[in-house]
Structure 1
Amino acid sequence: MIRTYRLAGAIVLAASLSLLSACSILPKPEQVDVYWLPYGQAPVAASRSAPVSWSLRLDKPMASNALNSQNIAVVPEGNLISNYKGARWSDTAPVLLRNRLLEAFLQDGRIQGLSTDDSNLQADYELGGELLAFQTRYNGKSPEVLIQYNARLVRSSDQRVVASRRFEARQPLSNPMVPGVVAGFGQATDTLMPQVVQWVMKQGQAQR
């Protein structure tokens, strides 16, 4: 009986040592930092004009698989697209852009009937389009943030495109490390937002 106990104990000890050994050789999970899209220095100012009578729904722009993700994309050279290791956006790039547009229109204040495609509420107009670029690009040795947004304003009643325009923002980067890159995205989107808001307001009012 004593020998049986000793044998069982030896088996348990061996199994425990084997388990510890296996745990020690397993790869450690990657440490990932998650970033919000920050604000730069130029938020959209509140408009002094009277509110408009029409409503607007903001749709997530369509994007390629490389951009429709939480990766922070970078084009180091030519046609090669990669991403920053150990860093992610808090949402996919199309969602980040749509949410920043929502904040910009709310700050402007002239459209009180605002919604997004998540709620799927009826609206007079829909703002959608394609996100063509949302990445850092190395132009020689000088990195820059590049955002390209092909916007379309659609009348909801008949799904007719009433206006379209391509917007682009470039932000040179003095700091190529991830925190500096993230700050550059914030500055580039701050450049883009007033342009999109003013264009939509002008086109929407022209249709009324």
Structure 2
Amino acid sequence: MKTSLTRITVLLTALSTAACTVLPRPEPPRVMDLAAASSQPKHENLLPVSLRINTPLASDPVDSSAILLKPTAYEFQAYQKARWRDSAPVLVRDHLARHLRNSGGFRNVVIDTSATNTEHALLTELSAFQVEQSGNTYQVILELHAEVISEQSGSSLCVRNWSIQEMAASSVLESAVEAFSRASNTLASELTQWAWSCVQRAQ
């Protein structure tokens, strides 16, 4: 009886030791961001108004932190072991806000988390933010619908659509992020001038 108990104890100890084997931890994902433009023109005329930048509306899978690759017209994939620092809409909102602030064209530029009262708001919809593959070529597709409205009356002042394509050197992550940054800087530069001109006409 004592021998049997000893054997059972040894067996349970062995099983317990096996169950406690330390598994390797998965590597944390790389966290990527958009690079700002190396230079940016400044507006000579400061408009005495403030502008609120709302977070773009988007649906899945664009409304996520996944760095998207679309190898066919029917499928989305995500770069493995990497993600954006936040969801794509927040990423684009922050990029636009930084560019609009640096332009010096508005008295103040805030995002939609601010409680500050503003005269105008920029409303947008982000419908594409991915790398698309065509054979052996890759390009970033960025599509944005934008509208400037009066915060006081709620009336629409200006509306415009953007569809920007930027070639990537390859499908590797670094090339993709560089192309995303170039496309986003093109959008930010054009949208900043457009929004400034729109608000100026409304004064």
Same fold flag (TM > 0.5): yes
Q: Which amino acid aligns with 1:191?
A: T
Does 2:71 align with 1:61? no
Take 2:92 and 2:135, find their aligned partners in 1: how far apart are those partners?
Answer: 27
Q: Following TM superposition, by how much is the alpha carbon of 1:44 offset from its aligned partner in structure 2, in angstroms?
A: 2.4
Whether the 8 Å contact between 1:61 and 1:131 is mirrored in structure 2 is yes
Whether the 8 Å contact between 1:40 and 1:183 is mirrored in structure 2 is no
Q: What is the aligned counterpart of 1:154 among 149, 157, 160?
A: 149
Give unpaired runs (5+ residues) of structure 1: none
Could you tell which deviates more after superposition, 12-21 or 83-92? Answer: 12-21
Q: What is the aligned counterpart of 2:160 among 147, 158, 165?
A: 165
Number of residue pairs matched by the alignment = 202
Take 1:161 and 1:32, find their aligned partners in 2: how far apart are those partners?
Answer: 41
Q: What is the aligned counterpart of 1:123 among 118, 121, 146?
A: 118
Take 2:115 and 2:78, find their aligned partners in 1: how far apart are those partners?
Answer: 32
Aligned pairs (5 A) from 1:75-114: 75-114=70-109
Take 1:183 and 1:39, find their aligned partners in 2: how far apart are those partners?
Answer: 10
Does 2:30 align with 1:33? yes
Structure 1 match to 2:136 = 141
- Percent identity, aligned pairs only, is 24
Whether the 8 Å contact between 1:44 and 1:193 is mirrored in structure 2 is no
Q: What is the aligned counterpart of 1:46 among 42, 54, 58?
A: 42
TM superposition score normalised by structure 2: 0.89
Does 2:182 align with 1:184? no
TM superposition score normalised by structure 1: 0.87
Could you tell which deviates more after superposition, 167-176 or 27-36? Answer: 27-36
Classify 1:112/1:7 alpha carbon distance in 2 versus 1 (closer, same or farther; 3 Å): farther
| CA offsets 1:64-83 (integer angstroms, 9 cap, x no match) | 12111100011101121121
Take 2:40 and 2:60, find their aligned partners in 1: how far apart are those partners?
Answer: 30
Take 2:104 and 2:139, find their aligned partners in 1: how far apart are those partners?
Answer: 31
Q: Which amino acid aligns with 2:33?
A: W
Q: Following TM superposition, by how much is the alpha carbon of 1:129 offset from its aligned partner in structure 2, in angstroms?
A: 1.6
Whether the 8 Å contact between 2:149 and 2:156 is mirrored in structure 1 is yes
